[in-house]
Amino acid sequence: MAHTIREKTKLLNRVRRIRGQMEAVERALEEQQGCAAVLQLIAGARGAINGLMGEIIEDHIHMHVAADKLSAQQRQEGASELVDVVRAYLK
């Protein structure tokens, strides 16, 4: 996954922000904050995770499905990997 290495800093920063959002959810639950506040925090974390997932999917498509240098077999393998991940993610 050379493309993730190139974007390593950016991706790790996203993960760290998500960690911070999840810590905020944990604090809110520990402090027994209201349901609406907790749900808002969870929605924000979910959006951040979806954004991270979208960025990785986009990179995967560009590098493992649509890149000019790939053989038909490599494209098929890349597409199959993507389908499997998306199915698991949507469960």
Report the distance separating Cα 50 and Cα 35, nearest Å.
22
User: What is the SS3 assignment for 34?
Assistant: coil
- pLDDT of 81 reads 94
- pLDDT of 7 reads 83
Are 11 and 19 in contact by the 8 Å Cβ rule? The answer is: no
Q: Is the pLDDT of residue 3 over 70?
A: no
- pLDDT of 1 reads 54
Find the helix or strand (DSSP H, E) in which 17 lies: helix 8-30
Domain range summary for the chain, segments of one domain joined by +: 2-90
- Non-local CB neighbours of 37 within 8 Å, separated by 6+ positions: 28
The CATH code of domain 2-90 reads 1.20.58.1000
